[in-house]
Chain A
Amino acid sequence: AQSVTQLDSQVPVFEEAPVELRCNYSSSVSVYLFWYVQYPNQGLQLLLKYLSGSTLVKGINGFEAEFNKSQTSFHLRKPSVHISDTAEYFCAVRRSYNTDKLIFGTGTRLQVFP
């Protein structure tokens, strides 16, 4: 079975500072990895995904993530955050075959302060 651990439930940061949101996964099979963002009172929006190939993936809104197979991690980074990045961020994993469900982490609340 697959599982996802988001190590930080909350990350406070000042505007224009860099940020890293950590995600570790566990799986005995090949997986795809995703980051979703949830703004207040909204649904989930895909930020980026890793399927194969280059381990550094770039997403929307200036976010990027690096897949590290040896450390089973998929940390999300942004070099300079904005107030508008305040949201809940979810890391998710699914098997790379079959029409499989997403397994989500518990989420990280990013709070950007002016």
Chain B
Amino acid sequence: DSGVTQTPKHLITATGQRVTLRCSPRSGDLSVYWYQQSLDQGLQFLIHYYNGEERAKGNILERFSAQQFPDLHSELNLSSLELGDSALYFCASREREGQETQYFGPGTRLLVL
């Protein structure tokens, strides 16, 4: 158990819908990263937050957005869902600047029908 929690574990929804994925980092960790794992794209970085501020963006679609709240949990919002958004979404946390290791949560499996 990495100490990173993600909810829900599974999510099935229809095209055009909007969903919110939630991540709670390890206690005290200030950084949260979101990654998408799909069969065709592999594991890809989406976005990084540090202590409530966006730090970096990767291959994140405009239909996707994220935020990190004062209690440090983070949410990834996916809207106007398409079939191709079906994937496993991971979040990872890291303690602070200078810490090298990211600890991954168990992921949220999203299926868009």
Binary contact track B24-58/A, C-beta < 8 Å → 1, others 0: 00000001010100000011110010100001101
Residue interface bits A44-56, CB-to-B below 8 A is 1, else 0: 1110010100000
Cβ contacts under 8 Å, A42 to chain B: 106
Question: B48's closest neighbor in chain A, by CB?
Answer: A101
B104 touches A45 (CB 8 A): yes
Partner of B106, one of A43, A49, A104, A106: A43
Q: Are B55 and A49 in contact (CB under 8 A)?
A: no
Q: Which of A36, A100, A105 contacts B56 (CB 8 A)?
A: A100
The complex places the Cα of A102 from the Cα of B31 at a distance, in Å, of 13
Known contacts A49-B100, A49-B101, A51-B100; decide if A99 and B94 are in contact (CB<8 Å): yes
Shortest Cβ distance from residue A45 to the other chain B in the assembled complex, whole angstroms: 7
Check if A45 sits within 8 Å of B2, measured CB to CB.
yes
Does B62 belong to the interface (CB within 8 Å)?
Answer: no
Number of interface residues of A (CB under 8 A): 21
- Tell me the residues in window 80-107 of chain A with beta carbons closer than 8 Å to chain B beta carbons: 90, 94, 99-107
Task: Give chain A nearest CB distance to B61 CB in angstroms.
Answer: 16
With A43-B106, A51-B100 known as contacts, the answer to whether A90 contacts B94 (CB < 8 A) is no
A106 to B42, Cβ gap below 8 A?
yes
Q: Do A44 and B55 contact each other (CB < 8 Å), given the known contacts A101-B33, A101-B48, A102-B45? A: no
CB neighbours of B100 from chain A (8 A): 32, 49, 51, 94
How distant is the Cα of A34 from the Cα of B104 in the complex, in angstroms?
Answer: 13
Report which A residues bind B (CB closer than 8 A). Answer: 32, 34, 36, 42-46, 49, 51, 90, 94, 99-107
A-B residue pairs in contact (CB < 8 Å), sample of 18 = A43-B4, A44-B90, A44-B104, A45-B104, A46-B101, A51-B100, A90-B43, A99-B31, A99-B48, A99-B55, A99-B94, A100-B56, A101-B45, A101-B48, A101-B56, A102-B92, A104-B44, A107-B42
